[in-house]
Each structure stands twice: as C-alpha cells, then as structure tokens.
Structure 1
Amino acid sequence: MHAVSPFRLTVLAAAVSLCLPAAAQDAQPSKQPVSKPIEKKIEQVEIKGTANSYGPRRDDTATKIVVSSEEITKYGDTNVLDVLKRVPGITVNTGANGRGGEIRMRGLGAGYTQILVNGERAPAGFSMDSLAPDSIERIEVLRAASAEFSTQSVAGTINIILKRSVKNRLRELKVAAGASSNAYGPNVNLQLSDRIDTFSYSLSANAAQDRFEFDSWGQERGTAPNGQPNLLRNLALEQKGKFTFLNLSPRLNWTLGQDNTITSQTFINANRFDNRFRELSTTVLGAPQPYADLLNEVENEGDYLRSDLSWARKFADGGKLDLKVGINVGSSESVTVRSADAANGAPVLRTDILIKGRERGLNSTGKYAKTIEKGHTFAFGWDGGVDTRDDLRDETDRLRGPARELDQDANARVKRLAVFAQDEWNITPAWSMYLGARWEGIRTRAKGNTFGVAEASSNVWSPIMQTLYKIPGSKGDQLRLALTRTYKAPSLQSLSPRRITSENNSPTVLDFQGNPNLKPELAFGIDAAYEHYWAEGALLSISVSQRKISDFTRTLVYFDGARWVATPSNQDSAVTRSLEIETKFPLKAVMDNAPAVDLRASVNRNWSRVESVPGPYNRLDQQTPLTVNLGVDYKVGQLSTGGSFAYRRGGPAGVAEPARLCLAPSRTGPLRAVEVRRPAPAALRRRQCAEPGLPERDHLRGPGHRQPDPQLHLPAGRALSADL
C-alpha cells in the first residue's frame, strides 16, 4: 500500500574514473646504437563476428539468457535490481519501504523464482539491492530447470555470478550518485587486480547509501452479510529512512599447472537500515482501530560472510573435475519501537521489540564432466550442506512493566543433500538434446521455548528434458521444448509454529503462525518457444509455458477466539500458464546509417487457477497478470544513456475462502494494492479496484464467523515425511 512516481531515473550526478595505468612493461629504451631495421612484410588478419558465431542464448540446448559484465555496467546502474529490470521475462517489485524488491519470473515470486549467487541460494535476509553491478561477472537466467542447480525453481532460476576473471594491474575508482522522485544517495566502487607469475588476485569493493522519504495511502471498506456498508476507513503511511551497505569481494587464484587451479573467493556484506514510518487511520464508519496513529521506528544491522575454496582440474582424457567447499556465517539485529498516543496526548502504547538472528553453515559441491564423443558430454555431481540458525525475539510493553514481557527463542537446523546427472548431446548439427535427473533431500528440525520439537523432511526426484531444433534452410529460426519436474520447499518461517503478532490485529492485519505439516509444492512443467534471429543483435522470441502444481500452499485465515491468524496450508492444486513475446534489435538493422540506438520490448501475460478456491478470480494471489517492458538505449563514445518503461497490471484474486485480494496497476513502481474482502457467500459482490491510485480493502467478517483451527501444533518428536 504505497505510491511511487511513475518513473524511476538513475542519474550519474558524479562519474569519475580514476584509472591508474598499468605498468606491466616498464623497460626503458636502450641507449646503444641500433642497426637499420630489416623491413618485413606483416600479414594483416581481420576477424569479424557474424550472426553465426556462438551465443549462449542461441546455441545452448538449455534455455538460457546470459547478461554479460559489459551489458551490466555500460548503463551506469548502481543497483543490480535496475539491471534485472531490463532483462526480458523478469519483474522486479519494489519493496514496501521503497527499497529492495522481489524478483519474479512468469509473474511469480514468493519462492517460486530461485535466486542464486555463484550457484548457491542467497542467504536469508540478504537484500539483492546491496549487490553492486561492478562486482558481477554475468547473470544467467534459466527459464527451465537444470539438473546442475537446485530444482526449487518452479518459475525459473536467476544465477548471479560474481567476478572471476582477473585483469593485469587494474586500478579503477568510480564515484556516482542516483536519484528518483523519493530517494537519492551516493555510490562508490573500487576495482583492484593484478597477476604475478602463477598467482593472481582481484578485489571488488562497493559502498552506497540510499535515503528515501515518501507517503502512500489506501482505504478499507466493509459490508455486512445483508450488503449494507459497515466499515469505511482511510489509511495513510508516512516513511522516512536510509539504507547503507558495504560489499567486499576478494578473489585469489593459484595456477598449479596446466589446467590445474585453486581459487579462493569470499563475499562480505555489511548493511544498516533505518526507517521511521507512521501509520494513520481515520475511521468514518465502523469501529476505530485500537491505535489510529501508530509510529514505528526501526533500526536494523546485518553482516554476512561466505567463503569458498575450489579446485578445478582438467585431465588428459578430456575429463574435468570441479570441487568446492565453503562456509557461511551471518548475524542480524533489529530494534523496533512502537508507540501510540490517545487524542489527549496520553501514551497508550510503548512497545520495544528486539530481534536477533545468527546463522552458520557448511557446504560442499562437486562435478565431474567428460566428453564421451564429439558433441556428447556427460556430467554428474553432488551438492550438500548443513545450515543452523538461532533466533531470539524479546518484546516488552513499557507501559505495563515486566509482566508484559514476551521472550521467544528458537533454533533450527536444515540438512540438505542432492545428487545429479546430466547428458548433453548434439545429435545432428541442427538438433541437440539435454537429459538430466536430480534427487534432493531436505530435513528440517526446529525447537523453541514457545513450541515443542517440529521436524519435517522431503525427498524429490526431478527428471528434466530440453531440446533445441534449428530449422534447416532458415538463417535464424529455431524451436525449443522443455519438460521439467520442479518444486517449492516451504521456508523455515512457514514451518516454524512460532506466532508473530501484530499490534492492530484485525481481519486485514493478521498474526502469522507457521505450519510444520507443510509439504513441498510439486510442479510438472512444459515450455515451448520459437526464436527468430533476423540480423546481428536482432531477436524475436515467442514462448509459452504451463505448470501444474500439486500440494499448492495458500494462506488460510481464521479466528482463534481472541485474534485473527493467517497460516499456510497445502490446499489441493493449481495451474499457471504464461505467454511471453520479446523482441530486441539495433536501429541499424532496419535503417541505413542509423545512430547507435538499441530498442527492446517484451510482453508477459500470465494466467493461473487455484482449484480449491471457487471462481471467479481464483488465481494465484502472488502472480502478476500482465507485464510490459519497453526500452531504448543510446551510446556514442564514452557517453551512454537510455530509458525504460515498465507496466504491471493487477486485479482481484481469491486468497482464502471466500477472501479476495485486489492489486492495482503499477507503472515502474510497486503494486500499490490491497483489497481483502470476505463478505458472506450469499452476499458476495463483484467489485474491481475502483481507482488505481486509491485501492480499497474490505474487511473480513467479524469474530462471529470462525473457521476450524487447522491443527497446526505438532507433538514433540513427531516427524513429517514426504517422498515424491
């Protein structure tokens, strides 16, 4: 429930490149006389790239979009989320506080889109907008699953690869600033690298701060079972804060021999987030909220370190072995002060909330690949690890003293193991095939002082097939087909039965409680695409996909006799379908002597149906139905500029029988919607979002209507297993 400017523009207010020239060869000119040089005829060789040269997107059997380091940095982005906004098929929803955001493919987030950093899942609580584009070597977008990576990728996978290549004696400093209608801040990036005999190193450092301030609004409307209005409430939200972060990415390489290297790569992130937001509500009709003027002051600090040591070795018989072992540690601390005063100024709420989290983990991966024959490569490997997390939540009501103090602590351990095998085969020059299979097992154990021991385990087999067929006789026409089995594992928060409470508890401001009985959502998928490469750098792509999701998880809302509670539950199945049309081309492909202008456009239309929710509007509540992206980029010499436009369309969606969520349209900003309605079934009224700038939110029915308790509590020692 927030408003943003229709445009977000990144301005390089200050761009300074201080490049200290390399002195790889310092030899002084000789003072001895030299003889007359002998003239030699030098043969000149000219190499030209053609449309038939190799390109990962065009020639790889697996459906993959690769965004190179040059493409990432050439537009001056200071935020990796701004880079992803230009990638077709990806939607970035801005976070509720104006920063961060959820990355989606096929309009699906909330765990359906897998985000990886160097092939591994990003840590809990890690904000992608704290990752500097200059520290990224490339971004891989996989629309269909690959056996090499986790198959927790129902919508797809985005793999962000940090810089690995080392340039000889690089010294580069960049200073920039970004601004939008409600935010601004500086950004500094430092790149160092050098090579000494068989040793090389690189260091990428980035620091930035983003200050923001904006207001947003909304409205709640409610109807009684007889259709009469019983609630009208105007809502406003005022926010002001700042986000500061520092990234360090050192990399060390040792060459032990030909095709034999050891690499150490470390990623360090430290961030601080301060936010002050005020929630105001004016009730025109119905009962007022307990706290009509609620002030929240939040201070959050987080630190994270991941370090990997890897060994890569090629053998004489054509085989290659990659081994890696890594550790990760992280901590976070958040302090929230909630306060509210009565109309006469007397304090009615003073609550302090302290949340601490600490995590550590150990992981290991391995892969062996060998070319069995020409155009035929077989690979197998493993991926495993153990992660432990400790959480502490202390809540104190200062007006009521220590008697109102609430302490919650929990400990969770997640063990995972995966093995995979894959075979890539170029059957003919025009036809290639990819076959893979992956088994993943996850076991979670959580224990807390407010609940007993909760355990859950799941095992998933994922067969995968992808094929690419280049139509004979055509210059650039090809077809793709993929069949996949993927899944979405429940998050640790969704499994933990610990309850998270809200101050203004109501049918629209709910407490949350996890469900240890959750099972993974299993999806069978099919993807098909037609691609036409009609000039150098020019592409037209039309793709369709479908996912059939079983054990679909949706949120149930119930009244426990005292408070309204939301909890996840496996409810029947769901189907999602997508259509994506993309084109991009340089202007010179259609006009002679055209300037260096690149044009791009993509349209994504998504449909879904939740079978356990009666229609209409029984779609996935987290899916974006329509996304349109347009862009133009221009570069001449050292100057590059461009612009982009993004539009996301919302609409009503059923979320809990018979609840409904309505999302308003958004242009470049977040979905500014929030409408939850749940009148009596006989009095259900079909209502669209009336005003895009002022969406409405209807109350659920009151405490007299109570749904059955889903029986969330799991007796101590009981384990839930799911073999799929």
Structure 2
Amino acid sequence: MYAPFRLTLLAAALTLCLPAAAQDALQPKPPPPKASDKKIEQVEIKGTANAYDPRRDDTATKIVVNSEEITKYGDTNVLDVLKRVPGITVNTGANGRGGEIRMRGLGAGYTQILVNGERAPAGFSMDSLAPDSIERIEVLRAASAEFSTQSVAGTINIILKRSVKNRLRELKLSAQGSSNGYGPNANLQMSDRDGAFSYSISANLAQDRFKFDSLGEERGVDTAGRPNMARSLGLAQDGKFTFFNLSPRLNWTLGQDNVLTSQTFVTANRFDNDIRETSVASLGAPAPYPDLLNAVDNSSRYLREDLSWARKFADGGKLDLKVGVNLGKSTSMTDRSATGLDTGIYVEGRERGVNSTGKYAKTLEKGHTFAFGWDGGVDTRDDLRDETRRLPRQSGLELDQDSEARVKRLAVFAQDEWNITPSWSMYLGARWEGIRTHAEGNTFGAADASSNVWSPIMQTLYKIPGRKGDQVRLALTRTYKAPGLQGLSPRRFTSENNSSTEPDFQGNPNLKPELAFGIDAAYEHYWAEGALVSISASSRKISDFTRTLVYFDGARWISTPSNQDSAVTRSLEIETKFPLKAVMEDAPAVDLRASVNRNWSRVESVPGPYNRLDQQTPLTVNLGVDYKVGQLSTGGSFAYRRGGPVRVSLNQRAYTWPRRDLDVYALWKFDAQRQLRFAVGNVFSEDFQSENTIDDPRIGSQTRNFNFPQGVRYRLTYEFKF
C-alpha cells in the first residue's frame, strides 16, 4: 500500500517539474552567478492528481468533511455544518437551537454520534460544540468493527483538532443576528512545536439571545366525530444560551514511532429561558393551567481527559492504547407559577466514568493487515429531583426523588483488511458488545437490564479493470440500537398540563435492543480530478422494534417505550460533485455538488399508510455551489426536506411540514493574515412547525399543532493570524 502511494507522489512531482524543466531548457542560459550571488532556494513538491482519497480508496465506505468545508460558512453551530453533508438531515429544534441528526432519515437513536471515536455522554448538547474546534467529520454509512455497532442508520464521527502547525495563532471574532435574537462568538486556535513536544489548543466562547412568540391550537372531537374542544395556544420565549469550549492536545515524541498524547475536552454551557404558555378555550373545558409561567435555568459542565500511547514496532505491528475519564454535572431550576400553582423544581445530575480502549494492528504481508482490540468502561450517574409546592397550601417538600444508575460495557473486536488483488479489497470484522445497566431510586425498586450483541461485518471494494475511476461496493452488517438509560428507568416524569398530547413519561426496564441486518451497495464513478458520481442503495430489517405507547391509566396519560414486532427501512442516494472545468474548458473556478436521498420504511405492527419508522424523513435534496476569483470566495447551499403525514403507532399520528434552507456566504482575503467572512442563513425565513394527534376509542381524538418563527440569520466574522 505504501510503496504505490510513494510512487504516486513521485510521479505527480515529476509531472509538475518536467514542464518547467523543458521550458528552462529552451531558454538562453544566463552567465553563471558569482559566488556571492548564490542563494539557497527552497523547493516545494506537491502531489495532487492521484493523491490518496479515503472515500475512493478505503475498503470501508467513508465520507470525510475537512476543516475547510466545516468552517466555510462561519457557522457557530455544528448542526448547521452537518445539514450540508450528503446523506445527513438535521431537524431543527423548536427555538432554532438543538435538533436531531439523522442518516437515512432516521434519528439519533439509530444514527450513532461519536466524538473522537467515543459515544457522546448523556445530556451532551451538540449545540455546545463549536465547528472551529473540529478537524474533520467522518460519515460511515456501514458499520466498522472498530467502533460501536449501535449504528443502524450509520455513524458520524467528529474528530476534534489534532493537527499541529508551527507557530499558528489565529483569532476569529463574529457577531450574528436575526429577527429573533443575536449573539457574539470568539474562537482562538494555537499550535506550535518545540523539539519532541508539540501542542494545539482550540477555545471557543459564544452566546445566543433569543425572543419570539409562537402560536398554536388544540382541537378535539368525540367518538362520533363531533367537535368537543377548541383552544388557541401561545408560547412566548425570552432566553439566552451561553457556552464555552476548550480542547487542548499535547504530544510527546518519546522516540521513533513512539508518541504519548493527552487530549482534553472541556465544555460548559448555561441556558436561561422565560416561557409563558397561554391557552384560551372557545369550546370545551379550559386547560388545567391556562396561563402558565416557567422560568428555566439550566447549566452543565463536562470534562473528558484521554491519555493515549501509540507505538510502531519493527516487525510492522502497531499498538494504540487509551485510558480516559469523564466527569459531568448538570443542574436545572424551574419555577412554575399560575393561578393556584406555585412550584419550584430542582434537578441535579452527576456523571462520572472511566474507560479503556486498545488496538493492535499488524501487517501480515503487503496489503494485508489484521487488527484486534477492546473497548470497555463503567459510567455512573446520580440524579436528584426536589419539587417544592407553595401552592396549593402545602408547605415543605412535596416530591423528592433520587436515583443512581450504573452502566457497564465491554466490547471486543477483530478485523482483517486485505487487498486481494490490485482491483479487489476485502474487509472482514466481528464485534461483541455487552451492556449491563442497574438503576434504583427512592420512588421505584431496583431495575436491572442487560444486552449482548454479536455483530459480523463484511465490506468489499472492487475497482472495475479497464474502466478507470469505476468501482462498486458491497457491505453486509449486523447492527443494533440499545435502549437508553431514561428508557430503561421506571422513574416517572410528570407533565403539569397532563393530556394525551402532553403525557407523563415512564421508562420500561424490560426493553430489549433492536437488532438490524443490513445490506449496502454502491456504484462510484470518478471521471475527472475532484469529480464524482455515486449511486448507493441500502436496506435494514429491524427486529424487536421499539415504539412509544400512549395510554390512559384511569387517572393520567402516560407514554412508555415498548418492544413491538419488526420494521423495514430502505434508502437510495445519488450524489455528484465536480469542478466546472471538468465539463468546460477555460471555465471559472466554480465547484458544483448535489445529492438526493429517498427513504422508505414500514413498521409491521402499525397499520398503514404512512407507517414510517421513527417519523423518517422521506426525501432530502442538497445543492451547493462555490466560486473563487482573486481574493473573493463565495457560494451557497440549498437543502430541501420533504414532510408529510406519519402513523407513529396504533393511536398516534403526526404531520411534518416540508422545509427549505438556503445559506450563502462570501469570504474576502485581505492578505495572508486577515480575512472577512459574511454569511446569511435561513434566507427563506422558514418556520418550524409541528403537529401531533392522539386517537382513543373511549374519548375520541385530540390534535395539537404549533408554529415556531425562525427568521433570517446574518453573521459577520473577522479572522486574523498573529
């Protein structure tokens, strides 16, 4: 593998150098310089045309988004970056922040999100991860034995800054605003070397203030279809979100091919929001609390420290060891007040964990590498909930809950990568994962759950002989989705305005993991430098499918997860990207890209039509263009997400609205040290809308919908190196 790579670089270097040498030979020779005129010249050799491309050359399917693509639009939110990546859909949150990351149209429970190859901790907000602290994003459509196989839809691995540049000092200052809010952002990047020691530091501080009013309605009909409820709803929010990231990386070279690395990630955020929920009934009974005020103050802090050691041996083996610890704390204080209600709710969660990973890889022969390793850890979480009711007239502590949960996990894996022929490569892997969960609290008894999943994996790449740039891929995988801690815990989470559309939530300790058998196939055509056409298809058969059941227990409405029957999901993706010069001679420096994702799914235990899995996004279209001339770089990205009706369960329906997102940017480089970036997001000023319906044969049906306004966002960033 390495010898052809080096020869490719050499050939590219010769290609660059020979035309210059030929031109030099035709020029008249100047007189030889004097000794005093001789200067030492620096020669830089670059390989371009045939450089190694992980997407094209790796046996395992992988899309890599580099740092330049990540920071192109000057985003302050990594979710805005991901929505422009082919095959990924981001469902924006109701207040413009947050959102769910989806691959193949399926949500985060099916899409695995990793940070530096590790699962993001419980409660970690992707909003608090700054794009400038990310080195690259890897999108794995099919599972790999090296990472957890809790990736039914796929894996998104976010790699924090690792590269070290000599004497880098870069500061970015930005401000953004919209009709709903505004906020500043500052980012600092530093790196340097000193002998055997090198370091890189990324720090980010940002704040987002928002204020807007949302409108909705709630309607109901009885079992005969006669209207029996009509309410006008209002939701006014006034808040701010502040976060801080710090990601230092320290490297010590202990000897040749012997490196010790410390990677730290610290994040802290605070979310304050004053929410007023109003309800005016024009038909039927009013809501229990028609004018409810919620003052929310949330804060969280998280620290992760990884110490890793990488050592290469003379016999071709390589050992990677890592030990990590993580600490986290989150607090929430909510004051609820209304006529006849005055409640204070304090919630505190503490998380701590330790983990260890290891991998040993050895090249058995040229183009044949075998590796095995492990991944294990113990995570403990303590939760405390105190509720004090000052109204009704009951003094003291009304509700006091505390619980402790411990999650133990262990995984072992082995994988074999083999270039069987120059045109054919094979990846075989297997991974066993075991998870043990124990939870207990003062309001429920001890609950234990365990799961064991064996995941065989095969991926292959075949480069069609005689057809340069044409290749096909095939992958067979067994993946799964493990139930989360909240879904397993029998602890009850109550809703003040309890109803079929706002039920209490209670976990189910008897939940089993959802198992999925998958097949992926793709055809890829690389027809010019930087030009690609890809057609890929996939299918997943899911057993022990988990869906949320909503029922009335005689006193209150409750939602709880439950294993049901099975589900099937299928996807088709077409992607292309190319520079305009690939189809037009003397074309300007324009790069074009487009992708279309069509998804289908069916839940066996839910009658159709529209019985899609996890409210799957049926269609996503992404279009993009970039243009560069002189000191100016500009471009735009358009994303379309189709909606429609969804049959969630036997008695639950939902409707999602289509969404069109258009983002544009312009970058002006003053010189090598200074540049100015301007970006406009959500150009069409698309709002977020939601609608949910609950049907019950005893009372009829209730429908609740809301419209959350989201304005055009403007962002200006000044970047300079010093």
Question: Would you say same fold, with TM above 0.5?
Answer: yes
Provide closer, same or farther for how the CA distance between residues 631 and 213 of structure 1 changes in structure 2, counting only shifts above 3 A.
farther
Whether the 8 Å contact between 1:462 and 1:486 is mirrored in structure 2 is yes
Pairwise CA distance, 1:681:
11
**Percentage of pairs with the same residue:** 78
Q: Deviation digits for residues 241-296 of structure 1, max 9, x if unmatched?
A: 11111111111111110000101110000111111222222222222211122221
1:691 Cα deviation (Å)? Answer: 12
Matches within 5 A, 1:475-494: 475-494=468-487
* Cross-structure match for 2:681: none
Change (3 A) 1:39 1:172: closer
| 8 Å CA contact 2:94, 2:708 repeated in 1 | no
- SS of the residue corresponding to residue 84 of structure 2 reads coil
**What is aligned with 2:109?**
111
> SS at the partner of 1:148?
coil
Give the distance between the partners of 1:165 and 1:306, measured in 2 at CA.
19
Distance 1:585 1:562 in 2: 61
Code of the residue aligned with 1:567 in structure 2: it is: T
- What one-letter code is carried by the residue in structure 2 that aligns with 1:49? T
Q: CA deviation at 1:71?
A: 2.1
8 Å contact 1:648–1:671 — kept in the other structure? no
* 1:230 to 1:486, Cα distance in 2 relative to 1, 3 A: same
Q: C-alpha distance in 2, partners of 1:517/1:562?
A: 24
1:640 aligns with 2:633: yes
Alignment partner, residue 613 of structure 1: 606
Q: Please say which of residues 416-425 and 529-538 is displaced more in the overlay.
A: 529-538
Q: Which residue of 2 aligns with 1:156?
A: 154
The answer to whether 1:331 aligns with 2:362 is no
Listed as ranges, the matches of 1:354-373 within 5 Å are 354-373=346-365
CA distance in 2, matches of 1:42, 1:349: 80
The answer to whether 1:377 aligns with 2:369 is yes
Shift of 1:325: 0.2
Show the 5 A alignment for 1:471-550. 471-550=464-543
| SS of corresponding position for 2:127 | helix
**Match of 2:245, as an amino acid?**
N
Judged with a 3 Å threshold, the aligned counterparts in structure 2 of structure 1 residues 657 and 255 are, in CA distance, closer, same or farther, namely same
Instruction: Please say if residues 293 and 336 of structure 2, whose CA atoms lie closer than 8 Å, have aligned partners that are also in contact.
Output: yes
Q: How does 1:274-673 map to 2 (within 5 A)?
A: 274-340=272-338, 347-400=339-392, 401-402=394-395, 405-668=398-661, 672-673=689-690
Secondary structure in structure 2 of the residue aligned to 1:429 = coil
- Shift, 1:215, TM fit: 2.7
Deviations 1:487-537 (A, max 9, x none): 000000000000000011011110000000000000011111111222221
Structure 1 range deviating more: 538-547 or 557-566: 538-547
Opposite residue 640 of structure 1, the aligned amino acid is S
Residue range with higher mean Cα deviation, 60-69 or 291-300: 291-300
Q: How many residues align?
A: 652
- Matches of 2:452 and 2:595 in 1, distance apart? 37
- Judge which range, 146-155 or 245-254, deviates more: 245-254
Measure the CA separation in 2 of the matches of 1:628 and 1:220: 32
One-letter code aligned to 2:168? L
CA RMSD of aligned residues (A): 2.4
For 1:85 and 1:638, locate their aligned partners in 2 and report how far apart those are by CA, in whole Å.
Answer: 27
SS at match of 1:168: coil
Q: Is contact 1:78-1:178 (8 Å) kept?
A: no
**Corresponding residue for 2:35?**
36
Q: Cα distance 1:373–1:241, how it changes in 2: closer, same or farther (>3 A)? A: same
Q: How far is the alpha carbon of 1:305 from its aligned partner?
A: 0.3
Amino acid at match of 2:485: L
CA apart distance, 1:42: 8.1
Per mean C-alpha deviation after superposition, the further-off stretch among 472-481 and 360-369 is 472-481
Change (3 A) 1:320 1:621: closer
Matched residue of 1:552: which SS?
A: strand
Matches of 2:225 and 2:565 in 1, distance apart?
A: 31
Partners in 1 of 2:39 and 2:81 — Cα distance?
Answer: 49
Does residue 286 of structure 2 align to residue 269 of structure 1? no
Q: Is the 8 A contact 2:319 2:358 kept in 1?
A: yes
Q: Deviations over 1:22-79 (max 9, x none)?
A: xxxxxxxxxxxxx9337599897864511x4320111111010011122222332222
The answer (yes or no) to whether the contact 2:693–2:701 under 8 Å persists in 1 is no
SS in 2 for 1:71: helix
The SS at the match of 1:508 is: coil
Give the aligned partner of residue 49 of structure 1: 48
Q: Distance in 2 between matches of 1:683 and 1:437?
A: 50
Deviations 1:422-468 (A, max 9, x none): 01111111111110000000000001000010000110000001111
Q: TM-score, normalised by structure 2?
A: 0.86
Runs of 5+ in structure 1 lacking a partner? 1-34, 341-346, 695-724
Question: Match of 2:3?
Answer: none
Deviation at 1:365, TM superposition (A): 0.2
Q: Report which of the two has the higher share of strand.
A: 2
Q: CA deviation at 1:659?
A: 2.4
| Distance 1:681-1:53 versus aligned 2 partners, 3 A rule | farther
Residues 150-204 of structure 1 deviation map (CA, whole Å, 9 limit, x = unaligned): 0000000000111112111222211112234423211111112221111112211
- 1:632 and 1:605 map into 2 onto residues whose CA distance is 22
Summarize the Cα distance change of 1:123–1:692 in structure 2 as closer, same or farther, 3 Å threshold: closer
Tell whether the 8 Å contact from 1:232 to 1:285 is kept in structure 2 after alignment. yes
CA positional deviation for 1:139: 0.8
SS at 1:539 equivalent: strand
State whether residues 222 and 699 of structure 2, in contact with CA within 8 Å, keep that contact through their aligned partners in structure 1. no
Q: Determine the C-alpha separation between the residues in 2 that align with 1:191 and 1:472.
A: 45
Matches of 2:437 and 2:699 in 1, distance apart?
43
Q: Using a 3 Å threshold, how does the CA distance of structure 1 residues 691 and 76 change in structure 2: closer, same or farther? A: closer
Alpha carbons of 1:635 and 1:146: their partners in 2 closer, same or farther (altered >3 Å)?
A: same
Query: 1:35-114 residue pairs with structure 2 within 5 A?
Result: 36-37=35-36, 47-50=46-49, 52-114=50-112
Deviation at residue 670 of structure 1 after TM alignment: 7.2
Residue 82 of structure 1 and its aligned partner are, at CA, apart by: 1.7
Q: Residue type of the partner of 1:79?
A: N
Distance (Å, rounded) in 2 between the aligned partners of 1:647 and 1:239: 27
**Take 1:386 and 1:196, find their aligned partners in 2: how far apart are those partners?**
37
- Tell me the CA shift for residue 652 of structure 1: 1.9
Partner residue, 1:232: 230
Unaligned segments of structure 2, at least 5 residues: 1-33, 662-685, 710-722
Q: Deviations over 1:222-249 (max 9, x none)?
A: 2222222222223222222111111111
Deviates more, 1:126-135 or 1:516-525: 126-135
Are residue 678 (structure 1) and residue 712 (structure 2) matched?
no
Letter paired with 1:370? K
Mean CA deviation greater in 563-572 or 627-636: 627-636
Aligned partners of 2:450, 2:44: CA distance in 1, in Å? Answer: 61
In structure 2, what is the Cα distance between the partners aligned to 1:177 and 1:634? 24
Give the direction of change, closer, same or farther, for the CA distance of 1:618–1:74 in structure 2 (3 Å limit).
closer
When residues 658 and 369 of structure 1 are mapped into structure 2, their CA distance, relative to the original with a 3 A threshold, is same
**What is aligned with 1:5?**
none
- Please report how far the alpha carbon of residue 308 of structure 1 lies from its aligned counterpart in structure 2 after TM superposition: 0.6
Contact 1:434 1:465 in 2 (8 A): yes
Report the counterpart of residue 14 of structure 1 in structure 2: none
Farther-moved stretch of structure 1 (636-645 vs 293-302): 636-645
